[in-house]
Chain A
């Protein structure tokens, strides 16, 4: 990529990809799209053996398990120049919450702080850290973008994906109403309080539909699975993808929840 501007950082940064458990298990193509974007931007990418950032335990009140998993992540990733996740939620967990898990343990606290300082959400890393201004990709049609909550409020991810999407050839971004309002996923919330979650995602799906864009993008697979599942359940022909797939020009895989047959009711 020619337009990458290198700032004050290693010439070829060594990035540990925190692929996130959902991308790992459900949609590995998002992980490979992230790898392509990072390599195009001049990074060396590695994906050490990993499981989960621990957020499900953290938000369920289980600090013990959360700490164990955080220590596992810290050890696996402490050697990299940067840690990048294609998720604001998991990056936010590491960046905003790992340090507070070790308030009474100065040694681990220092390690958690160090990891937090070099961990970034994917689009924010590309734009804010690497200074990427455009990507080499094309996408035919209009998309609408949902701002996932953790990325938006914990990491201030809002302009970065839009900036990169603006450079995708053939793509137009149509803003939906309330793009910054929660989709109702909330991790285990979606199952524990399914009636409420169902009502919230219903409102989101209506806003998506009213944007009249054939494709919905976001930066977090949890939210995407929630919205895609709702749209398909309601027979709404909106294709749902992670923003990294479009930015990397890797849209060969069927959209989320679409399978081999065309999407329909």
Chain B
């Protein structure tokens, strides 16, 4: 276990989210912007679908030879003067990072956006040990001020509006003039920039994530739109790259293909504003860069997904398209999922990382509409993998008893067509009689979940099979 999870309370979280009018308004923006922009970017690139195939193949190949590529990457980083640390779990990763920070007597640590750092809860751990972590991605900075988890993997503060951000800034930036004007978003941005600039200059250590780790060169790559990642990794004396094992990619050529689908799928950009490559510490001829370069590579349960049906999930390049297109995410937002990764990718990954006993709701809370799979740049069959989790739950008797017994009863009849015909004839006849006048029911026993929000249409009466038998008797059948 890593960060505390409220995934077991998914239903309560969801109900709360649905009643949060501010959140609902903010989620409306997700529905609009991301989807249209991705579609436009995809339409403009004739080879987009072929690139998705290629992206899938590159990741599959890497995962099949992951040991090889991890070793090759490690050797290249060492050769360039850096250090590689392998962390089996969150605790090991936290210990490694803390000890690097202590070695350089760090007081403050700046951070580029990293979901892995959320996964291992590094901020809390550093604070407990007297080191101040400062998030430098604007969205991450805002949620850090609010002591929240990101609600989206590429737009961490998408659940908030400008007024909330203004309140947070006024609450925290008390050294600034209380009467300053923050009514425009650009004023918020300017203030954040000024505050963060000080932090960048003061930081002893910079921690970034990685979108890709290149085995061929020992390079780590981040994509950002704010440039904060560059300042995080260039200004402090020590740079720590924190990434999970599946970020490996064989070559720069492979990266160039993956980059072509990543930003398009995420934000509809052809490329993000910054795509930053870093290889080892500063060399003598370099204008800038850190003196110490560390890479912490986290497993945290991922290697046990290799060779299973869930290996496909490790292709994920964290673009967020699945959640941007998900009707369930649109309805409840990211926090309802109760852990680090929301939306369809979270519904598959979270049970792998924290256990399906805790995260069982997530793969069940899907209509299987398939829109996530239809936009995934690496073609992860997300509904299929969610169904796999449901199968594991069924096998382990984690499926709720009511669902299980309901299924059993239905299955009993469905496997006996003659009995089924008689039983349904009687049941539908009765139901039709009861609902004949209105043609629908506002309430039905055992169907409260349905009738809470909608009527249940009454059946016509005679079943198809009954009428077919009656009308077509004697005909060729």
Contact = CB atoms under 8 A, between A and B. Distances in A.
A190 B450 contact: yes
A46 interface: yes
**Chain A's interface: helix, strand, loop or mixed, by majority?**
helix
B453 A201 contact: yes
B459 A26 contact: yes
Interface in A184-222: 184-203
B387 A59 contact: yes
Contacts of A9: none
Interface in A28-67: 28-29, 31-32, 44, 46-52, 54, 56-63, 65
Interface in A213-265: 225-226, 228-230, 232-233, 253-254, 256-261
A240 B11 CA distance: 30
Task: Specify which of A50, A56, A61, A154 lies most central, judged by the most chain B CB atoms within 10 Å of its CB.
Answer: A61
Interface in B419-477: 420-421, 424, 427-428, 435-440, 442, 447-450, 452-460, 462-468, 472, 476-477
B14 interface: yes
Contacts of A46: 476-477
Nearest to A234: B454
Interface stretch (A17-25, A112-120, A136-144): A17-25
Given A190-B450, A192-B403, A229-B456, A261 B437 contact: yes
A252 B108 CA distance: 75
A185 B391 CA distance: 21
A169 interface: no
Interface string B319-348: 000000001101110000000000000000
A63 B394 CA distance: 9
Contacts of B374: 153
B366 to A, nearest CB: 7
Contacts of B427: 25
B8 interface: no
Task: Specify which of B374, B450, B468 lies most central, judged by the most chain A CB atoms within 10 Å of its CB.
Answer: B468
A263 to B, nearest CB: 8
A181 interface: yes
Contacts of A25: 424, 427-428, 459, 463-464
A182 interface: yes
B303 to A, nearest CB: 25
Contacts of B370: 149-150, 153-154
A124 to B, nearest CB: 17
B415 A61 contact: no
Contact of A153 (B330, B369, B399, B455): B369
Given A58-B387, A153-B371, A193 B457 contact: no
17 contacts: A24-B463, A31-B468, A49-B465, A52-B414, A57-B407, A61-B391, A69-B414, A153-B369, A193-B14, A193-B328, A196-B14, A197-B449, A197-B453, A199-B18, A226-B454, A228-B457, A258-B440
Interface of A: 19, 21, 23-29, 31-32, 44, 46-52, 54, 56-63, 65, 68-69, 72, 149-150, 153-154, 181-182, 184-203, 225-226, 228-230, 232-233, 253-254, 256-261
Given A49-B421, A51-B414, A202-B453, 15 more contacts: A24-B464, A25-B463, A25-B464, A26-B428, A50-B465, A51-B415, A60-B407, A61-B392, A62-B411, A182-B369, A197-B367, A198-B453, A200-B330, A259-B435, A260-B436
